[in-house]
Amino acid sequence: MAEAPAGETARVFFALWPDAGVREGLVRAGAALHALHGGRRMRPDSLHLTLVFVGAVMAGRIPELLAVAGDVQVGGFETVFDQPECWRHNRIACLGASEVPDGLRELVGGLEAGLLGLGMPFDRRPYKPHITLLRNADCRRAAAAEGEKENPASGPLRWPARDFVLVRSSLRPDGARYEELGRWPLL
């Protein structure tokens, strides 16, 4: 982990990061969604499932986030991504999950509880697992095909979760760049 001066801020979030096989399936799904909606495809190295978006924190507080993650004890689980979606309000196309496994709920809940215990603010919306595959998507382009609901991943995409990460995000003109700050196994 590259150390930042204590007075500096870092934009951070907890996430699942795909292995090579899952990433390959996500890239294929992104290509199919791109054919429907256009937009800008996400770089393969940036594909992830956000668990909890913390946002800007003082760099000196990152050790507290690492400790919160270390206290979370959740077993591995599998999430099935089977819902292609295009969200007009923020112009993203993504792959969502029609069912949220208990392990994923426990992991998100454990992280949120730890952050609440620190008094650290975070994005507290109801959790809806989704993987952003496109930005600047034209959700109207596929309106005629809306009834088709075919999964662009050529069937459900199964993501076995074995660990989770804390990531620092740096926004750049060509998209976000991510730096892993810590990784923890799921039991």
Chain segment 38-89, per-residue pLDDT in tens: 999 999 999 999 999 999 999 999 999 999 999 999 999 999 999 999 999 9
pLDDT reading at 172 higher than 90: no
Q: What is the pLDDT of residues 84-126, one digit of tens each?
A: 999 999 999 999 999 999 999 999 999 999 999 999 999 999 9
Alpha carbon distance 170, 185 (integer Å): 25
Which SS3 state, helix, strand or coil, does residue 52 take?
strand
Nearest one of 115, 128, 163, 141 to 17, comparing CA atoms: 163
List the one residue out of 55, 26, 54 whose CA is nearest residue 42. Answer: 26
Residue 139, classified by CB atoms within 10 Å of its CB into exposed (0-12), middle (13-18) or buried (19+), is buried
- Distance between CA 54 and CA 56 in Å, rounded? 7
The DSSP call for residue 33 is H
pLDDT band of residue 141 (cuts 50, 70, 90) is confident
pLDDT band at 171 (very low <50, low <70, confident <90, very high): confident
Q: The whole model's pTM is what?
A: 0.91
**What does DSSP say about strands 92-96 and 83-87: parallel, antiparallel, or unpaired?**
antiparallel
